[in-house]
Amino acid sequence: MNNEQRHEFFSILRDNNPKPTTDLNYDSPFELLISVILSAQATDVNVNKATDKLYSNANTPENILALGEDKLKSYIRNIGLFRKKSIYIIKTCSQLIKLHNSNVPGNRKDLESLPGVGRKTANVILNIVFKHPVIAVDTHIFRLANRTGLAKSKTVYTVEDQLTKSISKTFIDNAHHWLIWHGRHICKARNPLCKQCAVSHVCDYHNNKQEHSRS
């Protein structure tokens, strides 16, 4: 995909969804952080079901720490890897209180030092909360980027690097949301909905498929 096609790709996604946002429910940077930690190998729907109850009772590092690990598990037990995640969350709450005055830090180093927070989670927080021009590459974005030609690599980090460098400042703030939505609902893993895709005409996968059908 060349620069002109890339611009058209994101222009169309922007026009179709001018004010994108995450599907996770949250009212503070801390709530978003906990929700993103919980979202690993879990659906946003299941995370929201758990956190809607959790946050109505405990939505600060101090309150969750006061719950304790066992009580926290009772709120999140329907989420994959809930035992490990409960340990991470308790440790993260403790670290936020001790080192960051209970605030979510706005830099990569401090974010990635929190238990349960890797590069993808840090990028989500940096992008959504602190408006950094970064892309959190999950399985949907990784697949979509390689399939469409937005990026080409076998590693997540290289795809992230290529996307960050190639997406213009006009689109970078919201690109993460647009790509995730498109990957989940249109550019699906097994059966991409090319006939319903508004950007198929600039997609390498679709255009290559068209070429093969004509030959």
82-88, long-range: CB within 8 Å, 24+ apart, which pairs?
85/37, 85/38, 85/40, 85/116, 87/115, 88/37, 88/115, 88/116
DSSP symbols for 151-168: ---SSHHHHHHHHHHHS-
How many of the other CB atoms lie within 10 Å of CB of 49? 16
Extract the tokens encoding 14.
């922007």
- The residues carrying an active-site annotation are 120, 138
Nearest to 171 by CA among 133, 212, 123: 133
Phi, psi (rounded to 5 degrees) for 33: -60, -50
Extract the tokens encoding 115.
């238990």
The rounded Cα 97 to chain-centroid distance in angstroms is 25
